[in-house]
């Protein structure tokens, strides 16, 4: 009989459940997006997110089990994201997982959302589940932008992170300035394809000396002033042509991607890792993917880009890390509580 992990992920605005067999076969990976709930507010509304999770969690779990051809009784361990994220959202997944673990009398495994993004590249074909470590992991999402040294499944160490906005947040804010809609990343990505990345030189901020941190808030402000006029926080894009908007999108993207790629390569060289793995929603970005591919080829590093289904928030990555934590005995009591913040600084899970 295979080892079956059922995983639940509700850290932000995606209700997700997945079934993983033997730590390598994704039998199901179900994600219910709440995009339609939040679009008209231009961002995630925590109370609405929590309520939407409550409404869909049971159906999503049953859908995941059904798709996997697994009954509740066949589940060997229940993994759940316990943080970081929106507490009201996390609470729904944690409550569901605690209930299932208790009812089924199975171990409960708490999983860190960002650590799961960092190891998600291991789900990449042709050998999903096999370790891709040691590696430097770049996690770029709406909530986080961080570099990790992944020595093995249970040893994930933070090397650097954004000191202000996450990369995805910068994409979403620039999309709002350019009046493109929400979520903004894919819309900026699409518009940028028609623009000239060298048209405008936006600032590339590098937080102090040899740190591997990032900073994107200055870039976002530079885009704001470029569009509305220096020192102005409000305005419109009515005076700009589509070609000008495309140039702004492409130039912004270039200014964001350059430090991401530079520091990722630098991190790999510093820790002596032979490969770079990339996860998180922003890993979908065309400019980032091609810049990383070029830079890794020059530096002689292997590059593993996590497949899109496992880049954006999903429960398969929670099941994957959950499987290894479970096997290492990292289970918890049924009084597990969610946590909103990062379990940092520089944490080694090992």
Between CA 35 and CA 339 the distance in angstroms is 24
195 interacts with ligand KG4 by CB under 6 A: no
Q: Name which position in 4, 5, 7, 12 contacts ligand KG4 (CB under 6 A).
A: 12
Between CA 343 and CA 112 the distance in angstroms is 8
186 interacts with ligand KG4 by CB under 6 A: yes
Nearest to 61 by CA among 4, 2, 7: 7
Nearest to 92 by CA among 14, 19, 183: 14
Q: Name which position in 96, 247, 313, 336 contacts ligand KG4 (CB under 6 A).
A: 313
172 binds, among Zn ion, ligand KG4, none (CB under 5 to 8 A by kind): ligand KG4
Give the shortest CB-79-to-Zn ion separation in angstroms.
Answer: 15
The helix/strand/coil state of 285 is coil
Contacts with ligand KG4: how many residues (CB under 6 A)? 19
Q: Which residue number, 57 or 167, has a Cβ lying nearer to ligand KG4?
A: 167
143 interacts with ligand KG4 by CB under 6 A: yes
Between CA 67 and CA 61 the distance in angstroms is 10
Strands (DSSP E) found in the chain: 4-9, 14-21, 25-33, 77-83, 108-112, 135-140, 145-152, 155-161, 275-279, 302-305
- Contacts to Zn ion from residues 128-167, by CB under 5 A: 141
183 interacts with ligand KG4 by CB under 6 A: yes
What is the full DSSP assignment across 127-163? STTS---SEEEEEE-SS-EEEEEEEETTEEEEEEEBS
Q: Which residue number, 306 or 331, has a Cβ lying nearer to ligand KG4?
A: 306
Q: Which residue number, 265 or 282, has a Cβ lying nearer to ligand KG4?
A: 282
Q: How many CB atoms lie within 10 A of CB 259?
A: 20
Strand-by-strand arrangement of the 155-161 sheet: 155-161, 145-152, 135-140, 275-279, 302-305
184 binds, among ligand KG4, Zn ion, none (CB under 5 to 8 A by kind): ligand KG4
185 interacts with ligand KG4 by CB under 6 A: yes
84 interacts with ligand KG4 by CB under 6 A: no
83 binds, among Zn ion, ligand KG4, none (CB under 5 to 8 A by kind): none
- Contacts to Zn ion from residues 295-314, by CB under 5 A: 313
> Contact positions toward Zn ion, by CB under 5 A?
141, 313
> Contact positions toward ligand KG4, by CB under 6 A?
12, 141-143, 168, 171-172, 183-186, 189, 280-282, 284-285, 312-313
């Amino acid at each position: 009989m295979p080892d079956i992990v059922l995983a639940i992920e509700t850290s932000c605005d995606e209700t997700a459940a997945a079934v993983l067999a033997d730590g390598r076969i994704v039998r199901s990976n179900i994600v219910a997006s709440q995009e339609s709930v939040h679009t008209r507010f231009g961002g995630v509304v925590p109370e609405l997110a929590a309520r939407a999770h409550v409404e869909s969690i049971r159906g999503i779990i049953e859908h995941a089990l059904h798709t996997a051809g697994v009954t509740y009784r066949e589940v060997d361990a229940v993994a759940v994201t316990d943080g970081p994220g929106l507490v009201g959202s996390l609470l729904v997944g944690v409550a569901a997982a605690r209930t299932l673990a208790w009812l089924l009398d199975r171990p409960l495994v708490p999983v860190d959302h960002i650590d799961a993004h960092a190891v998600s590249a291991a789900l990449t074909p042709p050998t999903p589940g096999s370790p891709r470590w040691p590696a430097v992991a770049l996690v770029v999402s709406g909530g986080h932008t961080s570099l990790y040294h992944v020595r093995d499944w249970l040893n994930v160490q933070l090397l650097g992170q954004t000191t202000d906005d996450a990369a995805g947040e910068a994409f979403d804010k620039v999309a709002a300035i350019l009046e493109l809609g929400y979520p903004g990343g894919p819309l900026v990505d699409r518009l940028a394809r028609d623009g000239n990345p060298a048209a405008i030189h936006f600032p590339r901020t590098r937080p102090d000396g040899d740190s591997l941190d990032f900073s994107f808030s200055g870039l976002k402000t530079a885009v704001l002033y470029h569009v509305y006029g220096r020192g102005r926080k409000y305005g419109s894009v009515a005076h700009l042509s589509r070609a000008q908007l495309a140039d702004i999108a492409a130039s912004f993207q270039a200014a964001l991607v350059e430090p991401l790629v530079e520091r990722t390569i630098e991190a790999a060289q510093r820790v002596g890792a032979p490969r770079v793995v990339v996860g998180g929603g922003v890993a979908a970005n065309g400019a980032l993917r091609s810049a990383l591919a070029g830079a890794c080829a020059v530096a002689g590093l292997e590059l593993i880009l996590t497949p899109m289904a496992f880049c954006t928030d999903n429960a398969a990555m929670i099941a994957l890390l959950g499987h290894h934590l479970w096997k290492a005995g990292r289970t918890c009591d049924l009084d597990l509580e969610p946590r909103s913040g990062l379990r940092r600084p520089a944490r080694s899970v090992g």
